[in-house]
């Protein structure tokens, strides 16, 4: 399958499930250029889930593993412009609750087809569900991985999805956030 071919994605063809030990075989066949993301999936995702650190959702398209997203709790410390913004709205807390995307990865053969976008929409829906029914959740946070290959530099993707840079850096990861409350 070409990396640039668009395919019609039907929700009936997508299955999203929390990772479990029964998935070990399909994890080995998962392909991504970013070694760290495959290593996390194979070595750490299930253990982190057992330790109640993060929850990893596997995405299957027509029974093939095409990606995953790991979620955990977080907070944003209100500093600088964010502190001023919230102070003007009489929100005087030092930090606000968030849902963090620990990892998000799409199989190399399924990149640029809209699955990453669907995964972010899924995360937004989960954060809204938490914020509306379980506990306060104002933001979604993540650390966008920088990459010398522009097509693998996730900051551009997340900016297109409405995320903003929390702290600018030239190398490593870029902390970003998505505000769930639209004024």
Domain assignment present for residue 87? The answer is yes
> pTM value?
0.90
Q: What confidence score (pLDDT) does residue 1 get? A: 43
Sites in the chain below the pLDDT cut of 50: 1-4
The CATH number that applies at residue 167 is: 3.40.630.30
Give me the long-range contacts of 3-7 (CB less than 8 A, separation at least 24): 3/108, 3/109, 3/111, 3/112, 4/112, 5/113, 6/113, 6/114, 7/113
Domain assignment present for residue 139? The answer is yes
R_g of the chain, CA atoms, integer Å: 17
Q: What confidence score (pLDDT) does residue 8 get? A: 66
Q: What confidence score (pLDDT) does residue 133 get? A: 97
Domain assignment present for residue 147? The answer is yes
Q: What confidence score (pLDDT) does residue 98 get? A: 97
Domain assignment present for residue 6? The answer is no
Domain assignment present for residue 160? The answer is yes
Domain assignment present for residue 2? The answer is no
Q: What confidence score (pLDDT) does residue 136 get? A: 96
| Residues forming a β-bridge with 55 | 71
The DSSP string of 91-141 is ---SEEEEEEEEEEEE-GGGTTSSHHHHHHHHHHHHHHHHHHHTS---EEE
Domain assignment present for residue 1? The answer is no
Q: What confidence score (pLDDT) does residue 9 get? A: 75
**Contact criterion met (CB below 8 Å) for 74 and 138:** no
CA distances from 153 to 22, 31, 53 (A): 32, 17, 26
Domain that holds residue 173: 11-179
Q: Which residues of 14-26 are buried (b: 16+ CB within 10 A; e: fewer)?
A: eeeeebeeebeee
Q: What is the pLDDT of residues 68-100, one digit of tens each?
A: 999 999 999 998 888 998 999 899 999 999 999
- What is the count of structural domains for the chain? 1
Domain assignment present for residue 105? The answer is yes
């Amino acid at each position: 399958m070409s990396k640039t071919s668009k395919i019609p994605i039907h929700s009936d063809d997508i299955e999203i499930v929390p990772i479990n030990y029964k998935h070990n075989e399909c994890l080995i066949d998962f392909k991504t250029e970013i070694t760290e993301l495959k290593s996390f999936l194979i070595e750490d995702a299930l253990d982190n889930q057992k330790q109640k650190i993060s929850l990893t959702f596997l995405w299957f398209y027509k029974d093939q593993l095409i990606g995953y997203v790991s979620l955990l709790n977080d907070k944003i410390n209100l500093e600088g412009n964010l502190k001023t913004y919230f102070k003007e709205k009489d929100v005087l807390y030092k930090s606000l609750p968030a849902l963090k995307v620990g990892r998000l990865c799409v199989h190399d053969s399924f990149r640029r087809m809209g699955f990453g976008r669907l995964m972010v929409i899924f995360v937004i829906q989960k954060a809204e569900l938490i914020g509306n029914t379980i506990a306060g959740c104002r933001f979604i946070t993540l650390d966008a991985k920088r990459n010398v290959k522009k097509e693998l530099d996730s900051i551009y993707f997340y900016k297109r999805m409405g995320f903003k840079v929390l702290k600018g850096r030239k190398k490593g990861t870029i902390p970003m956030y998505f505000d769930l409350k639209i004024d």
